[in-house]
């Protein structure tokens, strides 16, 4: 049977010791495991160990109200395959053939764009050309807009990076590409 660990803290160690001593002195024999758990939790203000566990479980649930769904697992194979398109650099040397890898690569390109400010098209193009090794920065700009990672004014003069949290696989790829730990295989 697996055990659930519960953090235990006492606001006043002296009061804890006094309460434990008083309860132990009132007993004729040494307490068992469960009786000792009850003594410890009563000493810090709970009715018993069950009350302590229920309180901690409620505290954990309230501390994470939006954590109902666990974050999806990262598909490291997909990250690895997309990382090969960067060939160990921060430059996308080839456009991935699969749509899901293209979207992942676009998140990396998105991470190089300046956050929180409007940028003229010339500056966006400069960033895209710096991180584009296959010669089509216009494709990258258009796909970033289509994917909702970049917005532009109707006259296409000003662009703004859309701030959103990348999915887990994109975060893994961004870390990998910017760390330079990719082999170009």
Q: What is the pLDDT of residues 82-138, one digit of tens each?
A: 999 998 899 999 999 999 999 999 999 999 999 989 999 999 999 999 999 999 999
Q: How confident is the model at residue 1 (pLDDT cuts 50, 70, 90)?
A: very low
CA dist 119 and 160 (Å) reads: 6
Tokens of 126: 């400069």
DSSP H or E segment with residue 152: strand 150-152
CA dist 45 and 133 (Å) reads: 64
3-state helix/strand/coil string of 9-36: CCCCHHHHHHHHHHHHHCCCCCCCHHHH
3-state secondary structure of 158: strand
Q: What pLDDT score does 28 carry?
A: 87
Q: What is the pLDDT of residues 15-66, one digit of tens each?
A: 878 888 888 888 888 888 888 888 888 887 888 888 888 888 777 777 776 5
Q: What is the pLDDT of residues 141-170, one digit of tens each?
A: 999 999 999 999 999 899 999 999 999 999
CA dist 153 and 47 (Å) reads: 63
CB neighbour list of residue 91: distance below 8 Å, 6 or more residues apart: 130, 131, 132, 133
CA distances from 70 to 4, 8, 168 (A): 19, 26, 12
Residue 95 and residue 139 in contact, taking contact as beta carbons nearer than 8 Å? yes
Mean pLDDT lowest among 70-74, 115-119, 130-134, 179-183: 179-183
Q: How confident is the model at residue 185 (pLDDT cuts 50, 70, 90)?
A: very low
CA distances from 168 to 2, 36, 164, 171 (A): 29, 44, 12, 5
Residue 127 and residue 110 in contact, taking contact as beta carbons nearer than 8 Å? no
CA dist 70 and 132 (Å) reads: 35
């Amino acid at each position: 049977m697996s055990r659930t660990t519960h953090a235990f803290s006492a606001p006043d160690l002296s009061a804890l010791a006094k309460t434990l001593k008083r309860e132990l002195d009132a007993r004729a024999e040494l307490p068992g495991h469960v009786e000792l758990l009850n003594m410890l939790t009563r000493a810090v203000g709970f009715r018993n160990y069950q009350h302590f566990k229920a309180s901690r479980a409620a505290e954990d649930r309230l501390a994470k109200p939006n954590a109902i769904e666990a974050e999806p697992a990262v598909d490291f194979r997909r990250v690895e395959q997309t990382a090969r398109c960067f060939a160990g650099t921060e430059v996308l040397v080839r456009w991935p053939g699969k749509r899901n890898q293209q979207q992942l690569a676009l998140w990396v390109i998105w991470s190089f764009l300046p956050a929180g400010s409007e940028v003229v098209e010339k500056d966006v193009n400069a960033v895209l050309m710096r991180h584009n090794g296959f010669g089509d920065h216009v494709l990258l700009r258009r796909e970033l807009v289509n994917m909702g990672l970049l917005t532009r004014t109707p006259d296409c003069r000003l662009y703004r990076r859309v701030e959103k949290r990348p999915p887990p696989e994109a975060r893994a790829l961004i870390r990998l590409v910017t760390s330079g730990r990719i082999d170009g295989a």
